[in-house]
Amino acid sequence: MGFLLVLGIMISVNVILSNVRLKADLTEEELYTLSDGTRSAVDGLQNIVTLKLYFNRSSRELPMFIKGVATRVEDLLGEYERYGRGRIVVETCDPEPDSEAEDWARRYGVMGQRLGGMGGPVLYLGLVAEAGGTHATIPVLDPRMEDLLEYTITRMILRVANPVKQVIGVMSSLPVLGREGNPYVIPGQPRIEPQQPWFVFGDLRQDYEVKPIAADVAEIDPDVSLLILVQPKNLSDNALYAIDQFVLRGGRLFAFLDPVSVAEAELGLSNPYSPGGESNMARLLAAWGIEFDEQNAVADIGSEYQEHPMVLGLRKGNLNKNDPITSRLELMVLPIAGTFSFSETAEAMVTPLLQTSDQAGKISSMMARMDPARIREEQESGSKRLTVALRLHGKLKTAFPDGKPKEAEGESAEDAAKEAGTQEAAGLKESVENSMVVLVADTDMLFDRFSLQQMNFMGFVGYQPWNDNSVFFMNIVEQMAGGSDLVSIRTRGKIERPFEVVLDREKKAQQQWLERQKSLQEKLRETQQKLSELQARQDAGQKVIFTAEQEKAIEEYRQQELETRKELKLVGRKLREDIERLGTLVKGLNILIMPAVISLLGVAFWFARKTRAKS
């Protein structure tokens, strides 16, 4: 009887607790709690948004890890529904074979994918957001993109809740928006291969209307709220004036300039051995108190990417921790970047966003593609950080105090004279309201190869960021275009986090051995130079016959050269051994600490019980 009573109590407690949700998010950055950005986006909803998860949970053949992913998605959707209090409705649909749910899944674009080839189970794992007759679909939820799940869901909600898109203008000398090929090649002319849009710009079109802007534009359309420039070249005076007036009347400007564009060379748009600057925005920048160094690139031996000093790996110490755009980013990678210098005024404030370490220096653009070892030798380290990206905010002055450029192309002197007295010709002399300009001294950070890796999941090709380059880009776009809710979601902490202490130890070890390496290489060059001089001193009649003293000296220098080369190899091996030893130590601690803690707790518990028994 007592057994049945206990059993009944246990069943009753389980039933009661099954309807009570108790949860504690103990992660440092609250990875499993809705972010402030999501809460703000949901609070602003005017219409009900329905989220439909299509997952065939009834299939017994699906792998357990897939079911685990689906459970976590359901849990997160439950958080949306609870917080939405009627503004978010969640429906879970099981598209069984030949069911109405399967028909609707296919109608929305959620297609079943067969696992394991012929005869394997079919998987449905997709999400649909619907509001006011508008819907957005994710055909397959990729488990590898789980850390971006909240951002993806909130982005879908905002997309269907606000179907009218803002207009963003893009002006570039690079095919960032893609290009068409020429199937019919004129003899003597090169074939132009079709080019897909760079991923970040293709992704931009999901939420904004993207409008190409020509390099000879005379006026930026009033409906453009944000103008993005990527390696602008050969801009006409009319185009510069149009950009100037666009910024002064309140338009936002986001510009990428580059002293050496790797993407430009890889796409066959320039000589790979020539600098890639030639941006003529200097007139605008000078009016705003900014200078971009087109002749030099940055080399930083204190950077994250030690295999090449021209590839900047910027972590938290290099990012502005007080700015919401960069405060939660982990890693940015900028290949062969440039620098900005600036003079702040009372009217406009300059905020550095990305900076190098204090070991960075400048290298001529012509030398940027040299061997990394030679670059390290040539680099002269500075004593202060260099600014790679910045934000300019405040009242700005015009770069055209005399008004609109006269006699623009296609305009007669008579027409220009008629415009001379008009307000349009005079133009704005300063910002109507506080202007905002963001400048980045690198274009390659947007190139797919340096920011993303292509993946294939269930037949769908996707892209996964391997650094925060695309996050940085979208954070700024959304902040400048007026929709900043997504910024705090996308930049949430990641499950995989770097060992900061290990990285610092690696940098110190590399710096220590680098100094020794430089001195040995200098000694090697001196030895080789003396050997060459000695061999050149032989008399004309000696030909290849040396005196005993010469042969002895040559042999000594050759031996010295051999020993120096051996020592250089030893330095490299010692560096690798130091890094490997550090890695082994970290792994050992990770493996041993938890068993040791559990063992100590067990001993303490045993000792406490023994003490109580004696007393």
In the DSSP assignment, the letter for residue 109 is T
pLDDT tens track for 259-270: 988 888 888 776
Q: What pLDDT sits at residue 563? A: 72
Q: What pLDDT sits at residue 421? A: 46
- Least Cα distance to 150 among 309, 45, 36, 11 occurs for 36
CA distance 289 to 72: 50
Identify any residues that bridge with 228 across adjacent strands, giving them in sequence order.
170, 254
Q: Is the full-model pTM beyond 0.85? A: no
CA distance 575 to 564: 17
Mean pLDDT over residues 313-333, rounded?
A: 86
Q: Are strands 252-256 and 435-440 parallel, antiparallel or unpaired?
A: parallel
pLDDT tens track for 430-466: 998 888 999 999 999 999 988 887 766 555 566 778 8
pLDDT tens track for 97-146: 888 998 998 899 888 887 766 667 788 899 999 998 888 898 888 777 77
Mean pLDDT over residues 147-157, rounded?
A: 84
pLDDT tens track for 498-535: 555 555 655 555 555 566 666 666 666 666 666 666 66
Mean pLDDT rounded to a whole number for the chain: 77
Query: Six-digit token pair at 216?
Result: 């000879």
CA distance 235 to 511: 43
CA distance 149 to 135: 18
* 76-85, 206-215, 306-315: segment of lowest average pLDDT: 306-315
555: pLDDT strictly greater than 80:
no
CA 155 to chain centre: 18
Mean pLDDT over residues 468-472, rounded?
A: 90
Q: What pLDDT sits at residue 201? A: 93
Farthest-apart Cα atoms in the chain, separation: 120
